[in-house]
């Protein structure tokens, strides 16, 4: 009788371990999805800001772009602020 009971208990160990591993993995995936949703929200906000012409121009100038006909200058060796 004890052998049968241990055999039945052994049959439950494998699925229980699989359930535990799956539950643990799901927790990691939920955290990953939450991080990706935050990143998506940040990128959507950035896209909305860049649709504004002034913001787009500011970003382009930050990247060193100039309008046609403008001349860009690079100032080097300026003193550092206080």
Asked if residue 50 lies in contact with residue 57, where contact means CB atoms within 8 angstroms, the answer is: no
| Structural domain contains residue 32 | yes
* Within a domain: 33: yes
The encoded tokens of residue 74 equal 């690079």
Q: Which domain holds residue 27?
A: 23-61
Least confident segment among 1-10, 21-30, 58-67, 70-79: 1-10
Q: Do 39 and 31 meet the contact criterion of CB atoms below 8 Å apart?
A: no
Other C-beta atoms closer than 10 Å to the C-beta of 55 total: 13
In a domain, 11, yes or no: no
Which tens digits make up the pLDDT trace of 8-60?
A: 887 777 888 888 899 999 999 999 999 999 999 999 998 998 888 888 888 88
Report the SS3 class of residue 76: coil
Tell me, yes or no, whether 1 lies in a domain. Answer: no
Round to whole Å and give the CA distance between 21 and 33.
Answer: 18
- Domain annotation covers residue 57: yes
Residue 55 falls inside a structural domain: yes
In total, how many domains does the chain have? Answer: 1
| pLDDT at residue 9, rounded to an integer | 80
In this prediction the pTM is: 0.54
- Please state, in angstroms and as integers, the Cα–Cα distance from residue 37 to each residue in 33, 68, 82, following that order: 6, 39, 41
């Amino acid at each position: 009788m004890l052998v049968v009971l241990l055999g039945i208990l052994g049959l439950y160990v494998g699925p229980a371990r699989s359930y535990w591993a799956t539950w643990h993995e799901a927790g990691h995936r939920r955290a990953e999805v939450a991080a990706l949703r935050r990143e998506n929200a940040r990128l959507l906000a950035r896209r909305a800001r860049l649709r504004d012409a002034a913001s787009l121009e500011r970003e382009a100038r930050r990247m060193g772009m100039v309008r046609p006909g403008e001349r860009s200058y690079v100032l080097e060796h300026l003193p550092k602020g206080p």
